[in-house]
Amino acid sequence: MSPEILKAAFADNLNFAVGRPAEIATPEDWYQAIAFSVRDRIMHRWVRQFEKRNAPDVRQVAYLSAEFLPGPHLGNSLLNLGITDNARKALAGQDLDLYIGLEEEPGLGNGGLGRLAACYLDSLATLCYPATGYGIRYEFGIFDQSIKDGWQVEVTDKWLLPGNIWEIKRPNFAQVVKIGGHTETYTDEHGAFRVRWIPDRVVVGVPYDTPIVGYLSDSCVLLRLWSAEAAQSFDFADFNRGDYYGAVEEKVFSENISKVLYPNDEQLEGKRLRLEQQYFFVACSIKDMIRLCLRRGSTLERFHEMFCVQLNDTHPAIAVAELMRQLVDKYAMPWERAWDITRRTFSYTNHTLMPEALEKWPLPLFGSVLPRHLEIIYEINRRFLDEVRTRFPGDEGKIARLSIIDESGEKYVRMANLAMVGSHTVNGVAALHSELVKTQLFPDFHDLDPKRFQNVTNGVTPRRFLGLSNPGLTRLIDGRIGDSWLSNLDRLRELEAFAGDVGFQQDWMRVKLENKTRLARIIRDRTGVVVDPSSLFDIQVKRIHEYKRQHLNVLHIITLYQRIKHDPRLQITPRTFLFGGKAAPGYFMAKLIIKLINSVAETVNQDPAVRDLIKVVFLPDYNVKHAQNIYPAADLSEQISTAGKEASGTGNMKLSLNGALTIGTLDGANVEIREEVGAENFFLFGLTCEQAARLRAGGYNPGDYCHGDPELRGVIELIDSGLFSHGDRDLFRPITAHLLERDDYLLMADYRPYVNCQQEVDHAYRDRHHWTRMSILNVARMGKFSSDRAVREYADNIWKLKPFAPEA
Ligand code: CR1
């Protein structure tokens, strides 16, 4: 697409879609004109694909996810369409990056799980797989984070306020969803015994479609997000009776369902509204698939041949019961046949072993929202447990553990068990995690049917996280190995040949320094802290969680601070410690960790004795947009979770892909990253998962580690002294007390190995050529962690899905 054509398109859209004369157009107007022009081109591909997509033999994947975190669309769509340079030319003299930067991102996810879903859509589109991502169009996404006096403050995310150019409302495909009420039995016209559900509320789900274009692929996938609307805007019956406000209230009540994303990451929120959200988007999506299936002239007998449905964690697991309800209650299919179709349709990805994340719903709550589904679940469970009993007669313990209903105390519906029973395949998200899914999480299901268990190690899209975010490095790589690596990441391996090339190393260092300089400017503008771009950028960005151990990083910072204070002539590698991440609003310890980071930052950054050797920064409001500025500037990637706790991690992949070296534990995908890049190019420390388990089993006493290590004791005492809290000795006591008394995440045990490993990092960074060689090798060996590889594995091994056209 030539610059001239784009120029005309921008002018047309400024005129016709935005309605502003060029002379007075603001940057926001220009952003809109460009976005409309890009959307036009995406829509053109979407329409062109219509026939292919709707051919009778095309099977497609529906990716059901309560969260999608795509990031701003404009920059990525320009890149994927291959028109960034021409758009720049078309704008002759205007700043395209400024316009790109104006876009609000759809923050419809918490962290890794939602971002993974977005990476998979990018790869599905790029690889020409027929796919739809189904989710919720939250009016308010994940809160914006600001920092006041060191504390996190949550601000409502009003992402829709400026309007959203990328979505198209499709009222004609709206679906009605029932909620609450009771069930009745009746006999149908053939004399068969049937059940009907009389709800006490109905809401309408209206889909908003965002087409996602693949990288240079001519192909699109759809992100279809459901928004809740009142069944009728005004209930005129009430209105006529004079209950005007009652009618409006009902409307507000219905629209609540898609109002706000629950801001918990790996923490169950057992609220009625959350269950309603889950059911709402699942019911709309299943009905949408049934509609498409029938429209394409197929019968529901073939539903599983037309659709495979991936459950992104247990949030959409109610889909198992909903498909059964549709097939049995609405379409009068015999139970056995419906169950066979259901089992062939679903597969389930587990994303966490954290017990507090495993979803379960109190039975009374579940029954009051979904009375018919509860009955269906009882029946699924009865048949399933009968089977189990024949295989393991008399093993009541096993039966209790496998049951979808937890009856050990207060009764619950276990969503993971429902997902397991209703799926043909379950997978974990990294090799280690998938093993733990078998041995720790679902050992009884594994005994029952080991073939059902698979692993698909996560991946990330190199388009957004290298091509778009790191243009400097992209150009440098292009210059050596050509540009086809963005769609074939294994080709990065050709960079190995240049790892020792001094000229290439210098270019590599120059690009890194440019990226760090840019980030330093952002840090100064957003926090006022001045950091030195030539210092080692040590970065930990991710949700704040005790198992991710941001506070272990802080213990290291205080250790260095203490050493510098004790020895005024100490020479260490100057470092900038950068943190970013949100804490769940109700997670006290995580919020206190943010306060601790900011308090240590305040003290350390201002102390002249530190001689600027270390700087500590907490960059507020970590999101996809900010992440894109941070990854390219990282020297060191902190992946320091307690072994066995991080299912995979994906930030670890993005940082490594941008040339950061990792300091990390043998956890999640770190294990495979280390295997790929080579142990000599990875800073490993800490307990393994088995060692951690043994330590806990033997009666772990964290206090012993502290007392046996004077430096560690000094660090804890310094926190407790009030030095970082204006004399308040109690402020951080919940953290230090927990570390000394319980230390669930084994910081005390891992402290010394971590600090020693950091010393190796310090030394290694002084040899810049060697460091740069390691950095190049990290990038060269990241091929495995492309989401293209992951999506192909899902397609080949789980979905049995074929791309539209054979790949070139
Ligand atoms: C895991 O904690 C993983 C992502 C994506 C998260 C993280 O290690 O990379 O999923 N889990 O698979 C999660 O959000 C609800 O669970």
Residue with the bigger pLDDT between 232 and 292: it is 292
- Cβ atoms of residues 581 and 550 within 8 Å: yes
Q: Where are the alpha helices (DSSP H) in 127-271?
A: 236-241, 244-255
Look at residue 199 and tell me if it is in a domain: yes
Catalytic residue chosen out of the listed positions 287, 548, 615, 645: 548
Catalytic residue chosen out of the listed positions 345, 474, 573, 650: 650
Q: Is the CB of 313 under 6 A from ligand 1?
A: yes
Q: How confident is the model at residue 55 (pLDDT cuts 50, 70, 90)?
A: confident
Average pLDDT on 534-544 reads 98
Distances from the Cα of 425 to the Cαs of 209, 308, 587, in angstroms?
29, 11, 33
The Cα–Cα gap between 349 and 354 comes to 15
Rg of the chain's alpha carbons, rounded to an integer?
Answer: 27
Domain stops at, among 743, 762, 781 = 762
Domain stops at, among 731, 747, 762 = 762
pLDDT tens digits, 346-385: 999 999 999 999 999 999 999 999 999 999 999 999 999 9
Task: Supply the range of the domain harboring residue 615.
Answer: 531-762
pLDDT value for 632? 99
Look at residue 793 and tell me if it is in a domain: no
Q: Look up residue 359 and give its amino acid.
A: E
Secondary structure of residue 662 in the 3-state scheme: strand
Evaluate if residue 418 carries a pLDDT over 90: yes
Q: How confident is the model at residue 808 (pLDDT cuts 50, 70, 90)?
A: very low
Domain stops at, among 423, 444, 475 = 423
Q: How confident is the model at residue 242 (pLDDT cuts 50, 70, 90)?
A: low
pLDDT value for 253? 80
Evaluate if residue 197 carries a pLDDT over 80: yes
223 CA → ligand 1 middle, Å: 21
**Residue 398 shares a structural domain with residue 535:** no
pLDDT value for 241? 62
The Cα–Cα gap between 638 and 589 comes to 20
- Is 349 noted as a catalytic residue in this protein? no
Evaluate if residue 237 carries a pLDDT over 80: no
Look at residue 89 and tell me if it is in a domain: no
**Residue 600 shares a structural domain with residue 732:** yes
pLDDT value for 381? 98
Q: Is the CB of 487 under 6 A from ligand 1?
A: no
Q: Is the CB of 644 under 6 A from ligand 1?
A: no
The Cα–Cα gap between 647 and 64 comes to 20
pLDDT value for 366? 98
> What is the number of structural domains in the chain?
2
484 CA → ligand 1 middle, Å: 30
Distances from the Cα of 289 to the Cαs of 224, 295, 308, 329, 620, in angstroms?
12, 10, 10, 17, 40
Q: Is the CB of 790 under 6 A from ligand 1?
A: no
Q: What is the pTM of this model?
A: 0.97
Average pLDDT on 491-518 reads 98
pLDDT value for 240? 61
pLDDT tens digits, 690-721: 999 999 999 999 999 999 999 999 999 999 99
Q: Is the CB of 353 under 6 A from ligand 1?
A: no
Task: Please give the mean pLDDT across all residues of the chain.
Answer: 96
Average pLDDT on 65-90 reads 98
Look at residue 656 and tell me if it is in a domain: yes
Look at residue 86 and tell me if it is in a domain: no
Q: Is the CB of 538 under 6 A from ligand 1?
A: no
**Residue 270 shares a structural domain with residue 138:** yes
Look at residue 93 and tell me if it is in a domain: no
Best of 120, 265, 352 to mutate for ligand 1, by most ligand atoms within 8 A of CB?
Answer: 352
Evaluate if residue 723 carries a pLDDT over 90: yes
**Residue 553 shares a structural domain with residue 690:** yes
Catalytic residue chosen out of the listed positions 224, 351, 674, 792: 351
pLDDT value for 56? 82
> DSSP assignment, residue 143?
P
Look at residue 639 and tell me if it is in a domain: yes
Q: 339 — phi, psi (to 5°)? A: -70, -40
411 CA → ligand 1 middle, Å: 27
| CA-wise closest residue to 734 among 544, 587, 605, 601 | 587
Q: How confident is the model at residue 235 (pLDDT cuts 50, 70, 90)?
A: low
Q: How confident is the model at residue 807 (pLDDT cuts 50, 70, 90)?
A: very low
Average pLDDT on 593-608 reads 98
Secondary structure of residue 159 in the 3-state scheme: coil
Evaluate if residue 238 carries a pLDDT over 90: no
Catalytic residue chosen out of the listed positions 304, 315, 464, 542: 542
CATH number of the domain that residue 686 is part of = 3.40.50.2000
Evaluate if residue 528 carries a pLDDT over 70: yes
Q: Is the CB of 112 under 6 A from ligand 1?
A: yes
271 CA → ligand 1 middle, Å: 21
Q: What percent of the chain has pLDDT over 70?
A: 98
Look at residue 119 and tell me if it is in a domain: yes
Evaluate if residue 514 carries a pLDDT over 50: yes
**Residue 125 shares a structural domain with residue 247:** yes
Average pLDDT on 394-420 reads 97
pLDDT tens digits, 150-163: 999 999 999 999 99
